[in-house]
Amino acid sequence: MKFIFLGNYSNAGLEGFIKNPSQDRKSVISGMMNKAGGTMDSIYLTRGNYDVVVVGDAPDFETVGAIKMMIMATGAFKEAVILEETDFNKIAKKASDIASSYKAPNS
């Protein structure tokens, strides 16, 4: 499954960057993803609502959830959001299939 990770570093995480500014975080994160059975497609440090955006692939949501749990436990992030790619046409088809069984309130 394709996923997008949005995160905000904690003060401790930012302090780590300052102490070791030449560390290749891309290779560290890519290695972690590979160990979990996934791959990292790209990583971006960004301005705006999130400090980092990672796009990758994983075998299932549990794998991505385990990665999130592990990185949150390190204290390097204060916030992390995972978005997963979905098939909009499949969702619309399911909605269409159940639409006839739904009755709006007061109708």
Tokens standing for residue 72: 């949150």
pLDDT class of 101 with cuts at 50, 70, 90: confident
pLDDT digit string, tens, across residues 40-52: 999 999 999 999 9
Please give the distance of CA 2 from its chain centroid, rounded to a whole number: 9
Please give the distance of CA 67 from its chain centroid, rounded to a whole number: 9
Q: Does residue 12 surpass a pLDDT of 80?
A: yes
pLDDT class of 81 with cuts at 50, 70, 90: very high
Q: String of b and e for 23-54 (b: at least 16 CB within 10 Å)? A: eeeeeebbeebeebebebeebeeeeeebbbeb
Can you tell me whether residue 78 is helix, strand or coil? strand
Average pLDDT, the chain: 93
Tokens standing for residue 79: 């916030």
